[in-house]
Structure 1
Amino acid sequence: MSKKNRFVYIYELLDTHHGPQNWWPADTPFEVMVGAVLVQNTTWRNASAAITCLKNARLMSPSAIRNTPIYDLADFIVSSGYFNIKAQRLMALCEWLEESGGIDQIQRQSLKALRRNLLSVHGIGPETADDILLYAFDRPVFVIDSYTRRLFSRLGLIRREADYESLRGCFEKALERDMGVFNQYHALIVVHAKGTCKKQPRCEACCLAVLCDGVQKNIL
């Protein structure tokens, strides 16, 4: 089986095993963006708790966040960790959104321009930018995260330490350029890596075990 076909086959196996994931859990594109910042270097549970605090305080809009003193904003997002840093990043994101004309206006930008502009925002790196592109703006961009690196390096398809853009290119070349597929595939990777292909993997429960270099070589 070719490497390209293995990427597709893995998607099919994960999709059959785990089913639809319906990501990203958010009410609005802006909430997706906020979540993408808050989940940096923490769990979704912690980020979600911070989002709930922001919603309860009626701070789920760019203007509301920009009009909040940064030390108060930090207090609302304590559960996400690194809250002072993330408060600054949320402020920078909201400033960019408003100065760029809002989400509807930004949506008109080409994928290349939008990604470049997102990466120019303080605190927005490649993974966060691609989360926002895929889940807030419905653009066909594949998100690479630590779960992707762990799972696919164990499967022998990538080097875990490879640079972000090279890994993104591997997936985007192997798969049909479809936002729905990229959305579901990334969600499936996260679910599988959190529940089965953990740091201490549960290989006996893995639907990908027959394809896994680690299992076949008995090194996991």
Structure 2
Amino acid sequence: MMRKKLLKLYDDLYAEYGELNWWPAETPFEIIIGAILGQATAWRNAAKAIDNLKAADLLNPEGLSKLTQDELETLILPSGYYRAKAKKVRAFVTHLQEHHNNQLDSLFAQELPPLREELLSIYGIGEETADGILLYAAKKPSFVVDTYTYRLMERLGWFSGRFHYGRLRGIFMENLPHDCQLFNQYHALIVRHGARVCQKTPQCERCMLRAECPTGNQSE
């Protein structure tokens, strides 16, 4: 039943928004740094910080490892929380250097469960960031959930209680085929819908899911 619901939701969102081609990055390493810099901020702010690193020709493990904390903070200032994020970026770069000789292929050669565990062991990488790295950079089928996902699922009546990352992610992991392209597009569609329509104050009058959504029905 849940599998059928999730697949129909995907079809409805896809019909509305089409192919989104997320993540906007040139390399897997850029995706990883973007995932860290994108924490707790709008993507446009993280993108400005990424552009600064590109302009300085430092968006690579070797370049970032040569920067001091202060130098890195200055470059990633637009991303917000720049002091904390600089420490997180440095932690990942140090881990990659010490454990994988700066080779992402070595890191990504692992199966999904141990790779996810390793990513979560690195300072500053939580579950959402780890799953973003797994799905978009490592091309492994690990579904990414976030506040947009929670908001949509809760309003549809498919998830109850407080936000719990593992329980929410489990709904998708247990009921959908483990396909990277599906997971990639599905997450991007949920984010797009959450940003445009299913906001903190829902814009139910503009929502194509209104007829089957309890929250949408209440707004009539």
Length-normalised TM-score, structure 1: 0.96
Structure 1 residue 28 corresponds to structure 2 residue 30:
no
Q: Quote how far apart the aligned CAs of 1:160 are.
A: 5.5
Question: CA-to-partner distance for each residue in 1:152-208, whole Å, 9 max, x for gaps?
Answer: 111111126142111111011121111100000000000011011111222121111
Give the letter aligned to residue 95 of structure 1: T
Q: Percent identity?
A: 43
Contact 1:149 1:160 (C-alpha < 8 Å) held by counterparts: no
Q: CA deviation at 1:98?
A: 1.7
Contact 1:150 1:160 in 2 (8 A): no
Q: What is the 5 A alignment of 1:43-192?
A: 43-101=42-100, 102-159=103-160, 161-192=162-193
Matched ranges for 1:5-20 at <5 A: 5-20=4-19
Alignment of 1:200-219 (within 5 A): 200-218=201-219
Runs of 4+ in 1 over 4 A off after TM superposition: none
* 8 Å contact kept, 2:204–2:219: no
Residue 194 (structure 1) aligned with residue 195 (structure 2): yes
Residue type of the alignment partner of 1:89: K
Deviation at 1:46, TM superposition (A): 0.4
CA distance in 1, matches of 2:81, 2:50: 15
The structure-2 alpha-carbon separation of the partners of 1:191 and 1:51, relative to structure 1 and needing over 3 Å to count, comes to: same
Q: CA–CA distance in 2 between the matches of 1:196 and 1:163?
A: 23
Alpha carbons of 1:160 and 1:142: their partners in 2 closer, same or farther (altered >3 Å)? farther
Q: Which runs of 5+ in 1 are unaligned?
A: none
Q: CA deviation at 1:90?
A: 0.2
Greater CA deviation, 101-110 or 126-135? 101-110
Equivalent position SS for 1:30: helix
Contact kept in structure 2, 1:37 and 1:89, CA below 8 Å: yes
Report the Cα distance in structure 2 between the residues aligned to 1:16 and 1:176, rounded to whole angstroms.
20
Give the number of aligned pairs: 218
1:137–1:160 CA distance, 2 compared to 1 (3 A): farther
SS in 2 for 1:100: helix
The Cα offsets for residues 121-141 of structure 1, whole Å up to 9 and x where unpaired, read as 000000000000000000101
Residue identity in the other structure for 2:180: M
| Amino acid paired to 2:135 | L
Deviates more, 1:70-79 or 1:199-208: 199-208
